[in-house]
Amino acid sequence: MRIDLDNVKALRELDSAGMLEAAWNLPEQCAQAWSLAQDPPLPQIADWRHLLVTGLGGSAIGGDLLRVFAADKLGIPVLVNRDYTLPWFVNRETLVFAVSYSGNTEETLSAYGAARERGTTVVAITTGGELGRRAADDGVPVVRIPTGIQPRAATGYLFIPMLGILERLGLLFGMEAEVTGVSAHLRELRGRYGPETPARDNPAKQLAANLQHRLPVIWGATGTTEVVAQRWKGQFNENAKAPAYWNVFPELNHNEVVGFEQPEDLLGRIWLIVLRDEQDHPRVRLRMKVTREMVKKAAGWTEVDSSGPTGLARVYSLIYLGDYASMYLAALAGIDPGPVQVIDFLKNELAKHE
Ligand code: F6R
């Protein structure tokens, strides 16, 4: 049953896993995630030449956040691995974060095993599960994060500890101020996006209403909003149980943009959301403008700007908007945003075939 987005009681009743509450608590989660990274023993410092984050879904996106955020701060490249196996180059000179909220994701456990075999330095981030057990047995440092929410609602716990550990290892600096900036900005934004704020003043509810019965296609820009575009797509999938797609400028100008001629009935259902940031390359800004003129007759178009005092706060400002909009989109279709039965089913089916 369709829910009126201003009926807060109905929104909460529909939300069996407390997704709205977890989103509201994201500022505090970020602050706590920083503290959690301060205690675990550190691995022995080595002359690492690469950093690899291995995980899936909600546990992998923090790796992408790190990859983009650290591109102009870390002296070594960051690679995100969403697989059972590891790339050939991974060796003793690789620092590996093995990230799994549940600690039971088979691809991550397999990659963890491979990382140990190759003699890499591993740090685990998990609530426990099999990864927690294996790491404890292997003497691998573990950042233990609280259990009880969906992995995709734990983006603070799954990303920020990496900043804390990297700072303690002397590889990043000034991260506490970054995290404080994110928390403070999200605290402001939840007053705008949260369920108590009526639709007329709430950009997240307005965006959801706009996307109802449409196919969201989210376009970000490489180096600024690329991870947000991917995150929004995942949140529309997992929270609203709806299809969504993402891509990035400038690459999409070399292929995807050509595909707006037919079929007309499908194109008419597509709604493009373009994510913008003040650090977008000026030529990318121009591309967005020109592209809008090219596709606006075929599909809908909304532009969304990031806000906030720092690059990371700006990225989180957009993540937050997408998180809320996807939950409201679920509510508009009468769908519980929390459970992801399809993922659970797949994991259970796979578990039957050891
Ligand atoms: C569910 C979610 C999923 C999981 C993924 C991996 O909320 O976001 O994408 O993150 O299935 O599971 P974990 O995070 O437990 O390793």
20-32: burial string, b at 16+ Cβ within 10 Å, e else: bebbbbbbebbbb
Q: What separation in Å is there between the alpha carbon of 262 and the centre of ligand 1?
A: 35
Phi-psi domain of 128 (left: phi exceeds 0; alpha: psi -120 through 50; beta: other): left
Active site residue 238: yes
Looking at residue 279, its pLDDT comes to: 98
Cα 218 to ligand 1 centroid, rounded to whole Å: 21
The answer, yes or no, to whether residue 48 has pLDDT greater than 90, is yes
User: How many A from CA of 101 to the centre of ligand 1?
Assistant: 7
Residue with CA nearest ligand 1 atom 16:
100
For residue 158, give the ligand 1 atom closest to its CA: 14
Cβ(239) to ligand 1 under 6 A?
no
- Going from the Cα of 152 to the center of ligand 1, the distance in angstroms, rounded, reads 7
**In this structure, what token pair is assigned to residue 102?**
């549940």
Instruction: State residue 1's pLDDT score.
Output: 72
Listed residue (91, 99, 86) closest to 50, CA to CA: 91
21 annotated active-site: no
Which of the 8 DSSP states describes residue 173? -
Measured by CA distance, the residue closest to atom 9 of ligand 1 is 57
Of all protein residues, the one whose alpha carbon is nearest to atom 11 of ligand 1 is 57
Q: Which residues contact 115 (CB under 8 A, 6 or more apart)?
A: 52, 54, 86, 90, 94, 96, 98, 122
Q: What is the DSSP string of 185-245?
A: HHHHHHHHHSTTS-GGG-HHHHHHHHHTTSEEEEEEETTTTHHHHHHHHHHHHHTT----E
β-partners of residue 79 are 52
Average pLDDT, the chain: 97
For the question of residue 347 being annotated catalytic, the response is yes
Catalytic residue among 254, 297, 352, 353: 254
DSSP string, 90-132: -STTEEEEEEESSS--HHHHHHHHHHHHTT-EEEEEESSHHHH
Phi-psi region at 147: left, alpha or beta (left = phi > 0; alpha = psi -120 to 50): beta
Q: Is the pLDDT of residue 3 over 90?
A: no
Per DSSP, the chain holds a count of helices (H) and strands (E) of 14, 9
φ/ψ of 78, rounded to 5, equals: -110, 130
What letter would DSSP give residue 5? T
CA distance 149 to 132: 17
- Cβ(100) – ligand 1 distance below 6 Å: yes
326 Cβ inside 6 Å of ligand 1: no
Q: Is the N-terminal amide bond of 263 cis, ω within 30° of 0?
A: yes
CA 158 to mean position of chain CA atoms: 9
What's the average model confidence in pLDDT over 295-307? 95
Model confidence over 254-265: pLDDT tens digits?
A: 999 999 999 999
Q: Which atom of ligand 1 is nearest to the CA of 347?
A: 11
Question: pLDDT at residue 2 above 90?
Answer: no
CA 14 – CA 141 distance, rounded (Å): 38
Distance 19 CA to ligand 1 centre (A): 14
Residue 354 binned pLDDT confidence (cut-offs 50, 70, 90)? confident
Distance of CA 292 from the midpoint of ligand 1 (Å): 34
Residue 338 near ligand 1, beta carbon < 6 Å: no
The verdict on the CB of residue 340 being under 6 Å from ligand 1 is yes
Tens digits of residue pLDDT in 108-133: 999 999 999 999 999 999 999 999 99
One of 50, 73, 281, 347 is an active-site residue; which one? Answer: 347
Average pLDDT over residues 264-285: 97
Query: In what helix (H) or strand (E) does residue 79 lie, and over which residues does it extend?
Result: strand 78-81
Phi, psi of 276, rounded to the nearest 5 degrees: -120, 150
| pTM assigned to the model | 0.97
